[in-house]
Amino acid sequence: MSTEPALKRARQILRAHSDRLLAKPNVVGVGVGYRKSSPSELALVVMVKQKLPESALAEDEIVPSDIDGLPVEVRMVGEVNAQMDASNQGD
């Protein structure tokens, strides 16, 4: 399980890098979560509109696999919309 110091460190890394990650074209959000493959290990979660192969991305668009020793996990969340009833929304 994550300990308080581990969570604190993950938050610090998140804060230091969130702006840079959010500037990448496909990135919708960033946060802290557990790794899917190892649910007791913390990761920096990068939420993207769609998962693309690295070959389809420019070098500066690729999300690194770890940052300052913290694993990075890319998850597809799609388009995040405010959830009023969509019956006459344009989207």
**Site residues (CB under 8 A) for other proteins?**
2, 11, 14, 18, 22, 28-34, 39, 45, 47, 75-91
Which backbone phi and psi does 57 adopt, to 5 degrees? -115, 150
> Whose Cβ is closer to other proteins: residue 5's or residue 39's?
39
> Cα dihedral sign for 3, 9, 65, 79?
positive
> 61 vs 75, which CB is nearer to other proteins?
75
User: Minimum Å distance from CB 76 to other proteins?
Assistant: 6
Closest CA to 49 of 30, 31, 27: 27
For residue 7, what are its two tokens? 């969570």
Closer to other proteins at the Cβ: 15 or 66? 15
